[in-house]
Every structure is written in C-alpha cells, then in structure tokens.
Structure 1
Amino acid sequence: MAHTFPELVIGGVLLAPFVTYLAITLAVVMVLRPLLHVVGFAKLFSHAPVAELSLFVTVLGMLMLLF
C-alpha cells in the first residue's frame, strides 16, 4: 500500500508536501531562536549560523519522518 501525501492547494496551485514541511520548520525554528538565545546556544559553537542551519535541517528531517 502506497502512502499518499497531502498536497497544499493555494489559489488552485498544487504545492508539494515538502513546501508545507519547509513552512512548518521555519515557524518552529523562529519560535526556538529566542529560547536558544537565552540558553546561550550561539556561544557553544565557533560558527553559530552553521549550527542554526543544522538545527533547521534536523527539524525538517524529523518532520518528514514523522508525517
């Protein structure tokens, strides 16, 4: 049995589920950023933007695996 992916329809245009996952991931990371700033996440890494990018990719991967 094949898994059907729900597509997002905006103005009659079908968008791939990946676009939905990207939007959800962006929202999750934007909520996490202030919390990570309070905790001092950026001070743990020599290049903080790369660490935030890896966090974004990790959250995106988890969403894709869960849904």
Structure 2
Amino acid sequence: MTHDFHELVIGGVMFAPLITYAVAALVVILGLRPILHLVGFASIFSHVSIAEFSLYVVVLGGLVLLA
C-alpha cells in the first residue's frame, strides 16, 4: 500500500506534509486558547506551557493520523 504525499509548494520551495500539519495544528490551538481560558485550563495544571504544548502534540498527532 503506497501513500500519496502532497507537498506544499510556496515560491518554488517544496515543504514536507508535516509542515502543513504543524501549521494547521497551530491554527487549531490558537483557536482553542480563548475557549481554554474561559474553561479555566490554566488553573488545572501547574505548568500551563507544558500542558498547552502537550495539547498541541495531541492535535498534531490527530491530524497526521487522519490524513
């Protein structure tokens, strides 16, 4: 079974599909941040930046698996 990867081409430069997924995950996380703030996400964890990074990794992994 072969997988057809579609590279992103910007100005003649080809970017790996992982870069596209990473940018998409960043957009999702930036969209979730106001919702997480309203829910009180920061009060649950002692290291909020590590928790947000972990959430980013989960979203990135989900995007890669769905593709």
For normalisation by structure 2, the TM-score amounts to 0.97
Gap runs ≥5 in structure 1:
none
1:20 CA displacement: 0.2
1:37 CA displacement: 0.2
1:47 CA displacement: 0.7
Residue equivalent to 2:46 = 46
- The runs of at least 4 aligned residues of structure 1 exceeding 6 Å deviation read none
Residue equivalent to 1:4 = 4
For normalisation by structure 1, the TM-score amounts to 0.97
Question: Aligned pair count?
Answer: 67
Gap runs ≥5 in structure 2:
none
The CA RMSD over aligned residues, in Å, is 0.5
Q: Identity of aligned pairs, percent?
A: 58
